[in-house]
Structure 1
């Protein structure tokens, strides 16, 4: 789950990381009032969950409150990469002397968090990584010991930070580690962390990504979710605790277990088909959950066939069958459906589906082949 800049910076400030004075506004009039409170010279920043806001015209400098109102009017009417701008952050403008990239994120290969910094900070950090990777400093953090102050100082030295800023940098680094750890984040990023003309270090921009699998213990962060970038089907899936990702194919998939779902998608591709989604109903799926999953699949007009691949371990095949029948009564599907039920109560599940006009399969390969053939006929 991604957080907006204003949400990320609010969290940063709670951990002692200095941020500019500012507030979020939903109207141009609010932006004008905030600009007046901040002395007039402000930055108007669009709040959308995509990169490249500045290059798209979503970040503007205003010299006074009247210009702030004018620029906020323009930005609030924009779409950036297909996402509407509903809010702007009005921040006090800073006189920048130096920009630094600074972040803590996951290093899956090392199985540790990693602290990343570069004196070549700013909006083009990706270009720095591609062309001059030696300018990017990385230090791994032991998850049991946490970030140590000497590691932060080592990074400060490595990026040639003047000694007078080491203390402030270490404080910010330790704060960012606490943000990352306590928020179950996969990314806590400051880009740029700036040194101002009056010799202060400030987190000018902020970005956070939260591990979806940890949201059950982060209720306060869950409430911050912005669904603008989410497909309606993914929003609906979350209500039922379903793992759903929309894809570009035409064969809807409903499987229990992430590994089995990935395998099913691979076998569909092996036989020349393309999956329309990843959908894991999970272990112990109830008939209500299965019915919801089927409704979500069928809302996609590109779906020309559906493959049900259920291995009855914790999940009972008869419960899945009842969910399928319940959804069929409600949605009245017009696409062919291929079902493979194996495991707990599989015979009972197959008996329930006998009169449901479904194509049955014994193996995954057989089910995938039949679903590809059915999709071609449906197209």
Structure 2
């Protein structure tokens, strides 16, 4: 579960990590009074997508009226498909240096790792690996003060900067453990004339540990309306931004299908694992969800074990007739009741493939050829 910046900063502040003075607004009420109190401000859209700075999601203002105008503008925009509903307004910080600090889990080593760099800021992803310090943390020992002092020496920090940064590292590790976090990131961690403080913050918490921190930390719903509908039906579904709607039965086969689409020059509109053993009714519901996102083509890839190919075929025919389906559709059916499923489709003038590679290349060829009917599936 990702937290909005203002939520992450609230946690940092309550655990002793300094952040700029700020307030959250969902409209313009109270904005002028806040700006009169703090002076020049940064206005930051609160969305869960990255790269909001480059996308115009952060603005600066020097007076109340300018701030109100820019708040209105931000609240009327979308950042990478996310509607801005809340803004965080903070005092503008006079930055001398920008650092980077994060604690996360290294999946390959199965260890907590602290990442630090003197090259913080918007383009942290472009920083060469040799400029990023990695310190793996033994969970039985934790992050010790001597380790933070060593890291600040490696960063070239001295005096006040080194002491305050080392203290923030220790507190960040305590937050990471306390909130069952998957990621706690400060970028940038800024150095001013008097303080080292978190100018931005990201936190991702383990959904399965939500019961430990609720209600102190509000649950943030990240699913789209379509994803919520699929979740209610027990279907694993994630919206993507490609062109081919994909339905498969199993996480592995679904991921492989997405990879093949990419390999052969197209992209998926979604990830949909309809699961094993889905009934005809459940399969039809899954197809309706898939088609509601208006893909340019549809690819159904079923390897029937528990799932019966005839159920999938009947469900598709039902949805096709109900919606008068016109977009290109390609179906691969292999496994339980394969012959019966193939026969049901053939009665509708639809052929099924046995090879997933052939199915993928066929759907791409239909897209490139501008095919508009359900055929040769």
TM-score bracket, normalised by the shorter chain, equals 0.7 to 0.9
Unaligned runs of 5+ residues in structure 1 are: none
- TM, length-normalised to structure 1: 0.76
SS in 1 for 2:296: coil
Distance of 1:355 and 1:55 partners within structure 2: 51
Residue of structure 1 in register with 2:35 after alignment? 35
Tell me: CA distance 1:319–1:114, structure 2 relative to 1, closer, same or farther (3 Å).
farther
Distance of 2:83 and 2:259 partners within structure 1: 35
Q: Quick check: 1:102 aligned with 2:101?
A: yes
Residue of structure 2 in register with 1:263 after alignment? 256
Task: Give the deviation of 1:203 after TM superposition.
Answer: 1.4
Residue of structure 2 in register with 1:200 after alignment? 195
Residue of structure 2 in register with 1:157 after alignment? 153
Paired residues of 1:101 and 1:193 also in contact (CA < 8 A): yes
Larger mean CA deviation between 362-371 and 287-296 belongs to 362-371
Distance of 1:270 and 1:99 partners within structure 2: 39
Paired residues of 1:318 and 1:348 also in contact (CA < 8 A): yes
Unaligned runs of 5+ residues in structure 2 are: none
SS in 1 for 2:284: helix
Paired residues of 2:97 and 2:190 also in contact (CA < 8 A): yes
Distance of 1:284 and 1:270 partners within structure 2: 29
Distance of 2:266 and 2:80 partners within structure 1: 30
Task: Give the deviation of 1:261 after TM superposition.
Answer: 1.8
SS in 1 for 2:133: strand
Distance of 1:292 and 1:35 partners within structure 2: 51
Tell me: CA distance 1:284–1:182, structure 2 relative to 1, closer, same or farther (3 Å).
farther
Task: Give the deviation of 1:52 after TM superposition.
Answer: 4.8
Residue of structure 1 in register with 2:12 after alignment? 12
Paired residues of 1:341 and 1:350 also in contact (CA < 8 A): no
Task: Give the deviation of 1:311 after TM superposition.
Answer: 3.1
- TM, length-normalised to structure 2: 0.76
Q: Quick check: 1:294 aligned with 2:282?
A: no
Figure out how many residues of one structure are paired with residues of the other and give that number.
364
User: Where do 1:132-143 residues align within 5 Å?
Assistant: 134-143=130-139
Paired residues of 1:193 and 1:205 also in contact (CA < 8 A): yes
Task: Give the deviation of 1:206 after TM superposition.
Answer: 0.9
Distance of 2:80 and 2:269 partners within structure 1: 23
Considering only aligned residues, what root-mean-square deviation do their CA atoms show, in Å? 3.8
Distance of 2:313 and 2:139 partners within structure 1: 44
Residue of structure 1 in register with 2:113 after alignment? 114
Task: Give the deviation of 1:353 after TM superposition.
Answer: 6.4
Distance of 2:73 and 2:218 partners within structure 1: 30
Distance of 1:374 and 1:110 partners within structure 2: 44
